[in-house]
Amino acid sequence: MKYFLIFICINVSLITNAQQYQLEGNKVVISMPVTFIGNTSVLTDDGKAAVLIIKQYLNDKKYISLLRIESNVVPNKPSINAQSLSAQRALAVYETLVNAGVSCKRLIPVAFGDTKPLVAITTPNNNDKNTYIQFVNVSINNRVIGGLPIDGGGVIVPITCTD
């Protein structure tokens, strides 16, 4: 009976970890959103936990040689510069992953400002849906997927990579 319970616990643990991310095309969809404190680039605790799911994904998928961190921001105040906040958030996610041990060579932070909405912007609720971080596989074994531009049409955030 003891070994049966251990077996069940191990299987439940594996299933739980496997369900934290999935692929939709080249996009990595994680089980929780990357969230920030208000209109800042400071990750919430839940946001940090979400980013660590991507660390696990990259640990599991060593053949992913470049992952794009996409940031889109629809500000809820006119005084907020969407492009600037978008860049700061992409960089915050990048730095969190690098500090967690992911090679900077495997990451490219890209800011879209407010130019890549997921849904039509007609209500404040849709503004929330259009403020997001998403992760997109860009290259496998150092080969760009489908010959698409690595920036995805956004602005690459300048970084210093010392790996």
* Residue 14 confidence (pLDDT): 42
- Contact by Cβ (8 Å): 68, 152: yes
- Kindly state whether residue 162 falls inside one of the protein's structural domains: no
- Kindly state whether residue 8 falls inside one of the protein's structural domains: no
Work out the number of other CB atoms within 10 angstroms of the CB of residue 154.
Answer: 23
* Residue 134 confidence (pLDDT): 96
Of 107 and 15, which is predicted with more confidence? 107
Give pTM, 2 decimals.
0.84
* Residue 3 confidence (pLDDT): 44
Closest CA relative to residue 53, chosen from 135, 109, 132, 151:
135
* Residue 148 confidence (pLDDT): 85
Residue located via tokens 């730095």: 95
- Kindly state whether residue 6 falls inside one of the protein's structural domains: no
Boundaries of domain holding 139: 23-156
* Residue 123 confidence (pLDDT): 67
- Kindly state whether residue 67 falls inside one of the protein's structural domains: yes
CA distance 1 to 107: 46
Q: Which pLDDT tens digit goes with each residue over 42-71? A: 999 999 999 999 999 999 999 999 999 999
CA distance 114 to 78: 12
How many domains are contained in the chain? 1
- Kindly state whether residue 89 falls inside one of the protein's structural domains: yes
- Kindly state whether residue 139 falls inside one of the protein's structural domains: yes
* Residue 131 confidence (pLDDT): 85
CATH of residue 47's domain is 3.30.1330.60
- Kindly state whether residue 161 falls inside one of the protein's structural domains: no
- Kindly state whether residue 116 falls inside one of the protein's structural domains: yes
